Each structure stands twice: as structure tokens, then as C-alpha cells.
A = this chain, B = another copy of it.
Amino acid sequence: MALKYYGMARVLTSAPGTEGHGRMAGVGVTIQDVARAAGVSPMTVSHVLNDHPHVRTETRERVLRAIAELDYRVNVAARNLRTGRTGTIGLAVPEVDRPYFGQLAAAIIAAAARHELKVAIEQTGASREGELDALALSRHRLYDGLILSTVGLGSADTELLKVDHPVVILGERIFEGPVDHVAMPNAEGAKAATAHLAERGCRRIAIVAGRTGDQVDVSSLRLAGYREAVDEAGLGFDPALVVPIDALTMEDAAAAARRMADSGLVFDGVFCVTDTVAIGVLRGLADRGVRVPGAVKVIGFDNVEEGAYTVPSLSSIDPDHALMAGTAVELLARRLAEKGQGKRPEVREFVSRWSVVARESTGG
């Protein structure tokens, strides 16, 4: 279907300019050099660098001047070694190129900045090993702590989470885990989404979800909410309306929707376990000429930004990302502060709030 013409790649190289790359400022300048230039001891420079209070203003200014002149930069590695901290937290997500995780990462970065923490993003590839790798990395003292957006780890892996640095699990809930976690209102949100479809008149509501294994993955948790809502609405649960897909991607979702339409399955509503899935479903239904919301109503979960711009625009459950991100960072920062104070307080769990965002896809 997609037609392509090609243009050529090209590589150009140019000779080094005569302006020359002379001496680069700031290379290898140490705190010692600054101290010498300012006529003080290295310690004093360090004090200035770290905003210690007991430095005469005049001395401080002399030091700052020397720093500027020499274009001095602290060597972070040395500081990290000495202090045992890096000022960086890790964020492990399945894939940065999925809208939801991209938006989550942005929110976490913003929240971390408020705590003067930097964020390094790891990709776990949505696999158990990837997640374990991320855990290992922070054990290498690369990060002061880790925010882990799990999908691969299950309740069975709780032992592995007993590491010596703070970890906050984000997204799913690992029951009885030994670490803090920030969870989505998975069941409640899914229930609300499904109920919303029922209110809008749907009687045969399908759910498109990932294959459910462990009971703590998104799909299982949201499927549970779906079932509750279906029961409460008195619609009766029909297994044929549960449509499994291999990966929660637009591609798989679109294919599933086409199959649903082709198979003659009767349905007038679809709860998609994720907005990404919903976008795929919208596309799949369009491929078969199924009108949304006329013939079928669709709702997703995550309230991804793109959802406001699809045609029709996508109804969704908003789990308040900013709140989740902020809380995750907050919990981690608190643990970091507790470090060394020997405190070993209770495990904290935060379940975010949710809201139904009704847009065109449910006849909003």
C-alpha cells in the first residue's frame, strides 16, 4: 500500500578549518589549579563549590573569578566516588518510543528536576531480563535509586527487589513486594471505562487486551475491572468478547480489530486496555468501514496526548500521570534522604486517582 521513492544519502567531509582547534579551555583543570590561581586551599574552593556558608564573601568572589577564568568544571566521577552518590536516578521503561512511556518519562524528568535529580532512561524491552538488568545497573552505584516501570517482573520476583538502594515500582502492583510502589487505578479505571460504554448504550462490550498470564500485569488487572462492570451492568460475561493480542501495539491492535469485524462477532463497544491499543483499534475498524462511535464505541486507558487528535478523538481513562510521576519521585527522594539515618519505615503504596475523559469515540 505504501508507495516509496528514494533519494540518496550522501557523506561530505571538509578539511579541518584553519581557525584551528587550539587549546581547549577547561580541559584537565582541577580544583587544585583553581586553588592555586585564587591563592587559597583546595578545600576552600570545594566549600565555595558546594555553597558552604562559612566562606568570606571576598574569598568566595576570588575563587569564583578563578573558576571562571580557568573555565573549571567539577569532575563528577571524582565527586561521586567521594560522596557515594551520583545525583542521578534511573528510570526503566519498556520502550521510550511508545507514547505513554515517552510522556511518563517527560513527567518524571520534570518531577526529578524539582529534587535536583537527573534522570537516566533505561529501556527494558518489556522483558523480565531487561528489568533485572536495570536493577543490576543501579546496584553498580550508577544511580542513587531506580524507578522501575514493570511489566515483566511478577510476584515471584519480589525477592530480587531486595537491593541496597531505593526502588520504586511504577505502573503495576507487585503484591506484598518489599518496595514502595505507585500504582495505577487499574481495576477501578477499567471498570469506569466499561461502565461508561454501558451508560452510552453499549450492550455487547468487547475488551482488547494482552494475553493474561501473571495476575499482576496490566491486562489482567484491567480485565478484572471490565468483568466487574459488565456484571454490575447486568450484561453477562461472554468470553468471545475478550480479544487477546500478543503485544500492546497499534499494529497488533489494528489486526485484531479487523479480525473482529471480519469474524462476524457482534459488538457495539470496545474497551481497549491501552490508548495505543485503542488507536490501533480505531484504525482497524476504519479499515473495515465500521463507524465509530455510530456502530461501535471505543474507549482506551492512559489518556495519552495523541488521543485528543485522533479522528474520532479518543475517550480514555486519565490516571493523572503528573501525579503518579511526582509521587514516584517523591517516594524515591524520601528514601534517599532517609539513607544512612538507619530508618527503615513501612513500605508505601500509592494508587493514583482516575477520571473518565469522554470524547468523540464514545459519542462524547
Contacts and interface: CB of A to CB of B under 8 A. Distances in A.
Contact of A10 (B99, B164, B192, B351): B351
Nearest to A353: B9
A305 B4 contact: no
A243 interface: no
22 contacts: A1-B364, A2-B308, A2-B358, A3-B357, A3-B364, A4-B357, A6-B353, A7-B353, A12-B348, A16-B347, A17-B347, A73-B141, A75-B140, A77-B77, A88-B120, A97-B102, A97-B103, A105-B121, A106-B123, A119-B121, A282-B311, A311-B311
A81 B74 CA distance: 12
Contacts of A176: 17
A178 interface: yes
Given A6-B353, A357-B2, A286 B311 contact: yes
A354 B311 contact: no
A26 B139 contact: yes
Interface of A: 1-17, 19, 21, 24, 26-27, 73-78, 80-81, 84, 86, 88, 95-99, 101-103, 105-106, 109, 118-121, 123, 136, 139-142, 162-164, 176, 178, 185, 188-189, 192, 250, 254, 279-280, 282-283, 286, 305-306, 308-311, 313, 318, 320, 323, 344-359, 364
A24 to B, nearest CB: 4
A24 B347 contact: no
Assembly stoichiometry (copies): 2
A209 B192 CA distance: 40
Nearest to A279: B309
Nearest to A82: B77
B77 A86 contact: yes
B86 A109 contact: no
B141 A12 contact: no
A303 to B, nearest CB: 9
A351 B9 CA distance: 6
A250 B120 CA distance: 27
A117 to B, nearest CB: 13
A191 to B, nearest CB: 9
A353 B8 contact: yes
A75 B11 CA distance: 40
A264 B72 CA distance: 59
Contacts of A351: 9-12
Nearest to A81: B77
